[in-house]
Amino acid sequence: MAKERIYPSSIRLVDNIQFQFGQALKPAEPSRSKRIINEIKKQYVLKIKGYKPDEMVAATCLFEGPKDICEKQEKDMFKIAAKYNGLSGGAENGIKGYQLTYMIAYIRDFAL
């Protein structure tokens, strides 16, 4: 992204271990229909896109500023992600991923 001069306000990387930890922390979904939808999404990512659960990583990006500039940066970021077989997890998962990075830092500080 730096090569393309796209500078989000925040970018946080989640390695595979952190990604799996975040998946393990997900609460059970009470809605049957949402569970079915989530399973379809999971199968799409694993079977159709070909992602491997033990290799998946994530990045959360936060853009701030004028709406038009943020939308352009987001669009350009998605182009870069697509070039490397990246996939958007959506805003809700981005928020959860961002919170996960904070939680991991606090757990690490507590453990040390």
CATH of the domain at 61: 3.30.70.3450
- Per-residue pLDDT at 92: 86
Is residue 70 in some structural domain? yes
Single-letter residue type at 31: S
Is residue 5 in some structural domain? no
Is residue 75 in some structural domain? yes
Cα(first)–Cα(last) distance of the chain, in Å?
33
Which residues partner with 11 through β-bridges?
61
The model's pTM is: 0.77
* Both tokens assigned to 86: 């990246």
Q: Are 91 and 84 in contact (CB under 8 A)?
A: no
User: How, if at all, do strands 58-62 and 10-14 pair?
Assistant: antiparallel
Task: Determine the structural domain holding residue 102 and report its residue range.
Answer: 10-29+57-111
Is residue 19 in some structural domain? yes
Distance CA 81, CA 44 (A): 17
* Total domains, the chain: 1
Question: Along the 112 residues of the chain, how does pLDDT read in single tens digits?
Answer: 888 888 899 898 889 998 998 888 888 889 999 999 999 999 999 999 999 999 999 999 999 999 999 999 999 999 999 999 999 998 888 888 888 888 887 887 887 7
Single-letter residue type at 13: L
